[in-house]
Structure 1
């Protein structure tokens, strides 16, 4: 399924025209802004958002001379949306996203991942470390079925699976401290004209691997083991008011050698910290890139 273009007309604070990539028969939309000779920052969104989530960060990053690449994951935003929940797997999202990286020829990447952007991004970085120069994670993690999920996540997973109404913009609004305006809520709802377009959004919570027999666990554990030797710069910028992942930064800092001595920060923000602290996050990325490059 492909959301009609007119759904994305006059988006507030998001004037960017995407480029489109064909990835094994599905079309991915990618915003690609800034200097082509600048350091590349790859911003990966999660559930149930799309590239619009980064509208408060892109201007600061571009003004700093960086190239900013913001894909809409398959099933979200202006990208194609397979109609069946069964069409979505963790591995397919990893493959689609890395396909975008190779199609654009991205190298020396600074990864910024939040929510599913971290689940996908950390896998890709661990499996293809030669493509990545540094990593920033905000309210994200890499699940290996070795920690018990929070009660808040289990409630969310059950809600996403069974609720008859899946209100995208209300979910984003609830997960942020900053209240969305009417036009911002409309922008988050724009990719999903009807419930039939929401298969990807419905699928993501149940794709988080929680059990030993989940098909994603071997690859995730291999990635986690690789990250134990990741000595490139690794930074966490977490929102403290996130009931699901607000304390996920500690295990990352302890496990990953490249996190030592970095200016980690905990900001006043909810799960969608990009809504609450977008400019501050962008400044943190700029400083991190400049610090690591100096």
Structure 2
């Protein structure tokens, strides 16, 4: 496996990202980076999982809010993103591979009493992880995410995005992020989202994710997700949805979870203001939702 590692000087002086770097090997010589803030002896650990094409920088406003409430906060960069190592061949990425890297991460750190906070691909991976390691998870807060089984209709906006990610010679990370928000990113924020990717050789992971979404029911990952759904339909631990009002792909998906997951019953679900990247548009409200769930435990 050909692995590239973003030079550390690309991450100097990023706005609102003062966090100490931490690293962990998750197999095959791959090193994952993660933020670890707050009280390490806290009863609960908030695990914040990013999606496509972002990294832990996405949670920069939320991490201090949950840490200030007395919780330990872990925010990893998925393999291929942020400060984590990046296989340079797009074929080195798979849904199952990402899941195994993330499971190794949680087990190696021996995380317990986890409250999952997830969005986008953070949900495709995190919901699987919560079911697979059920005894380590206490609750879930989900925004703008899903767990596809290939049986749902695919929005045209996603089909267009998948085609763009696969074929466009121009793949501007920060502009993609900004297109998914209501706000305008500052020059420093755009620099931060572009920082992990000095050249196209570093972007294989970002281009891989859209084509890894299981959109046909006979695909192995679609079948695995259907099995996970059967477990989620028996999930009675607290599960709060906090979708936004302006996501063209995910909007309305919260009702699907509320109707099928028992843990969603009588929970303080909310609709937040923003586009796809809720962490940019409503970070305080999203973080407070996680703190509110922990108060219910």
The CA RMSD measured in Å over matched residues stands at 0.7
Give the CA deviation at 1:213: 2.7
Aligned-partner Cα distance in 2 for 1:19–1:42: 15
Is the aligned partner of 1:285 residue 2:290?
A: yes
Q: Cα distance, 1:240 vs. partner?
A: 1.1
In 2: Cα distance, 1:212 partner to 1:255 partner: 19
Residue 50 (structure 1) shift: 0.2
The yes-or-no answer on 1:145 pairing with 2:150 is yes
Verify the 8 A CA contact 2:141 2:289 in the aligned structure 1.
no
Other-structure match for 1:267: 272
For each residue in 1:208-257, what CA deviation from the matched residue of structure 2 results, as whole angstroms up to 9, or x when unmatched?
A: 00012322122111111100000000000011100000111110111100
Q: Contact between 2:119 and 2:144, CA under 8 Å: does it hold in 1? A: yes
Q: Which whole-Å CA distance do the structure 2 matches of 1:271 and 1:82 have between them?
A: 26
Listed one character per residue, the Cα deviations across residues 114-171 of structure 1 (whole Å, up to 9, x for unaligned) are: 0000000000111121110000101001001111111111111111111110000000
Report whether the alignment pairs 1:21 with 2:24.
Answer: yes
Match for 2:136 among 131, 145, 152? 131
- Map 1:103-142 onto structure 2 (within 5 A): 103-142=108-147
Match of 1:207 among 212, 217, 228: 212
1:8 maps to which residue?
A: 11
Structure 1 residue 36 displacement after superposition = 1.1
Question: Which position in structure 2 is the counterpart of 1:51?
Answer: 56
Counterpart check, 1:236 vs 2:241: yes
1:65 paired to 2:70: yes
**1:244-255 equivalences in 2 (<5 Å):** 244-255=249-260
**Structure 1 Cα separation of the partners of residues 188 and 34 of structure 2:** 22
Matching residue of 1:180: 185
Q: Can you give the 5+ residue segments of structure 1 that lack an aligned partner in the other structure?
A: none
3-state secondary structure, aligned to 1:61 = helix
**In 2, Cα distance between the equivalents of 1:146 and 1:219?**
13
Q: Distance in 2 between matches of 1:152 and 1:95?
A: 29
Please state whether the residue corresponding to 1:287 is helix, strand or coil. helix
| 2-structure distance, mates of 1:276, 1:127 | 31
Q: Provide the residue aligned with 1:221 in structure 2.
A: 226
What is the correspondence of 1:74-85 to structure 2 with a 5 Å cutoff?
74-85=79-90
Following superposition, the deviation at residue 278 of structure 1 comes to 0.4
Deviation at 1:283, TM superposition (A): 1.2
Helix, strand or coil: the match of 1:42? strand
Does 1:31 find its partner at 2:31? Answer: no
Matching residue of 1:163: 168
Residue 135 of structure 2 aligns to a residue whose secondary structure is helix
In structure 2, runs of 5+ residues without a counterpart are none
- Rounded to whole Å, the distance in 2 between the matches of 1:212 and 1:112 is 27
